[in-house]
Amino acid sequence: MYFLLLFLGFVTRLFLVPIPGFKADIAFWKGWGLAVADRGIIWLINNTNYNYPPGFAYILDFIGKTYKLFADPYNIDQYWMDNNLLYLFLFKILIILSDIGIVFLIIKISKKLKMEWGWLLASIFFLNPAVLFDGVIWGQVDQFGLFLFLWAIYFFIDEKPKLASIIFTIAWLMKWQNILFIPIFYLFIYKKYSFSDLIKSFAVSLGTFAIIIFPFWFYREMASLLNLFTVNSNWFPWYSLNAFNGWWIASGLNGMKISDKTLVLGIINAKQFGLLLFSLFYFIASLNIFLAKKEESLKQFVLSSALVILSFFHLLTQSHERYLFHLLGFVIIFYFFKIEKKLTHTIGLLSIVSLGIFLNMYVSMAFNYPDQVYWPFSTETTRSLTLYISMFQIVTFIYIFVRYFSSFIRKNYLWVVAASVVFMGFLITKNYSYFLGKPISLTKITPVGIQQDYLKPMINMTVESARGVKYWNRLSNNYYFYNQGIGAHANSEISYGLGKRFSKLITDFGIDTEAGDQNKAVFNLWN
């Protein structure tokens, strides 16, 4: 029976392969894959807009080289067509294999924990519309990340923390979202095993990391790798990247229109506020592992991982529509770890979570590629509907948090109160001068927009300082030095989203000493 269901899921996937899906993503895979196959990983990272982890580049490399065996990728009328069946097949077959890998792990985990219904829950996962839509229809690779993460959990059940660490390191070098789990992953190893095991796990992780990033340290290109690790922090600086969450509602149902550098609480912008909230919830997730009994710690690690992924999607700005995907696997293993004891409740929760994720992705696809989905509503009506989808997902988040964390918080309320006090303290400290009506330096506020012809505006330093440490210099005008200010170069336009919080601007401006006294610039202020 279950074999039949899994076979049905497999056949369905094969038939869905020809769908072009999210065309922009597939076009990126093609471009990056061709670059890494032709020029290598370092060239890819230094010369293109590649912003995925280095491990994923090897996958694209493999696909690019395999494609070359069967067809000519330089045939522009074939390779770049959105219905390029060979490319779609080569890419999506890996997604299908990841799905199969997750199914296999779900069954293995259930057997290892001596729990029933592994086959049933694996079949539900395999036929889940949200899983099908994210992977074989859209063409995204969230299943890679989930597959590897579940594999690491399987090794933990098998009491093999070092193997788990190797797989986990590959996981976050394959899909960025897994980076989120790094602190709680090693905290769990420390809690469940020992400090010695923690050090050993670190060592094997470091070894795995060194092997995967071999070309970077071998060719002395570690700076490129560092840049790759940080480049995403402001790639899309918006409230929400079609993730239907609280930020989407706060943006007026147009999350990619409002900069997350807009001030939301005193002089704290949306991004900072989201980060603080996320930190608070991450602390609760960490505490849940730290205070757990040794024998319960893996169960609590799974539960905390679910909280981390929920907080990541709901509390941070710049969240994508797909970022809850891991939850589709976590909720299933809730049952095996007895986090959720009733099978019907597990399936019910999985259905609710899946519905939210599916609708979020489906509507997002309708916004971007209306030809890829059937959607009978106009753009404006759809935008209104996103309010209800957002509310649905927020309620699901609150439900999960209350259901699985309320008793923990009741038992350990002093810790949570202390964390909340630190959270509030940070908000107040950051806004101290603002609340007292004192002047606030613009250097303390992040601009919502910057356009500059040469280098970038520098805070409390000359514009040349942007070239590197050896060019660092203080701001000055004819050798009169300023402790604070912005070093910019014409033409430069710097915009702030102050939200009508201020009534007066006092400023001084001039040509920096290092530019010489022959230069001229015009300084304008617009409101």
Q: Using CB under 8 A, which of 5, 27, 427, 511 touches other proteins?
A: 27
Looking at the Cβ atoms of 192 and 322, the one nearer to other proteins is: 322
Stretch that binds other proteins, among 15-23, 156-164, 209-217, 291-299 (CB under 8 A): 15-23
Distance CA 462, CA 380 (A): 46
Q: Which two tokens stand for residue 334?
A: 């809730």
Q: Tokens 């074999």 belong to which residue?
A: 3
CA atoms within 13 A on the CB side of 244: 26
- Segment holding 320, helix H or strand E: strand 319-320
List the interface residues with other proteins, window 61-90 (CB under 8 A): 73-74, 76-77, 79-85, 89
Q: How many CB atoms lie within 10 A of CB 148?
A: 25
Q: Using CB under 8 A, which of 8, 12, 49, 439 touches other proteins?
A: 49
Q: Tokens 């002093």 belong to which residue?
A: 414
Decide if residue 31 touches other proteins (CB under 8 A): yes
Contact pattern from residue 367 through residue 396 relative to other proteins, giving x for each residue in contact according to CB under 8 A and a dash for the rest: xxxx-------xxx----------------
Residue 149 CB burial class (10 angstroms; 0-12, 13-18, ≥19): buried
3-state secondary structure of 510: coil
Decide if residue 18 touches other proteins (CB under 8 A): yes
Contact pattern from residue 331 through residue 370 relative to other proteins, giving x for each residue in contact according to CB under 8 A and a dash for the rest: ------------------------------------xxxx
Mark residue 399 as left, alpha or beta (left: phi above 0; alpha: psi -120 to 50; beta: remaining): alpha
Decide if residue 256 touches other proteins (CB under 8 A): yes
- Segment holding 496, helix H or strand E: none
Decide if residue 14 touches other proteins (CB under 8 A): yes
Mark residue 499 as left, alpha or beta (left: phi above 0; alpha: psi -120 to 50; beta: remaining): left
Tell how far CA 509 is from the center of its chain.
Answer: 39
Closest CA to 167 of 183, 139, 144, 190: 144
User: Minimal distance in Å, beta carbon 239 to other proteins?
Assistant: 11
Q: Using CB under 8 A, which of 1, 2, 9, 39 touches other proteins?
A: 39
Decide if residue 48 touches other proteins (CB under 8 A): yes
Looking at the Cβ atoms of 367 and 415, the one nearer to other proteins is: 367
- Whether a cis peptide bond, with omega within 30° of 0, leads into 491 is yes
Stretch that binds other proteins, among 136-144, 250-258, 389-397, 451-459 (CB under 8 A): 250-258
3-state secondary structure of 141: coil
Stretch that binds other proteins, among 18-26, 188-196, 286-294, 298-306 (CB under 8 A): 18-26
List the interface residues with other proteins, window 108-167 (CB under 8 A): none
Whether 166 and 205 have beta carbons less than 8 Å apart is answered as: yes
* DSSP code of residue 370: G
User: Minimal distance in Å, beta carbon 266 to other proteins?
Assistant: 26
Whether 373 and 362 have beta carbons less than 8 Å apart is answered as: yes
Between β-strands 458-459 and 486-487, what pairing exists: parallel, antiparallel or unpaired? antiparallel
Closest CA to 21 of 337, 338, 368, 486: 368
Looking at the Cβ atoms of 89 and 415, the one nearer to other proteins is: 89
User: Minimal distance in Å, beta carbon 523 to other proteins?
Assistant: 25
Stretch that binds other proteins, among 21-29, 136-144, 455-463, 480-488 (CB under 8 A): 21-29
Decide if residue 24 touches other proteins (CB under 8 A): yes
User: Minimal distance in Å, beta carbon 66 to other proteins?
Assistant: 17
User: Minimal distance in Å, beta carbon 60 to other proteins?
Assistant: 11
User: Minimal distance in Å, beta carbon 296 to other proteins?
Assistant: 46
Q: Using CB under 8 A, which of 20, 55, 139, 246 touches other proteins?
A: 20
Amino acid at 69: L
Footprint on this chain of other proteins (rule: CB under 8 A) = 11, 14-15, 17-18, 20, 23-24, 26-28, 30-32, 34-35, 38-39, 44, 47-49, 73-74, 76-77, 79-85, 89, 254, 256-257, 367-370, 378-380
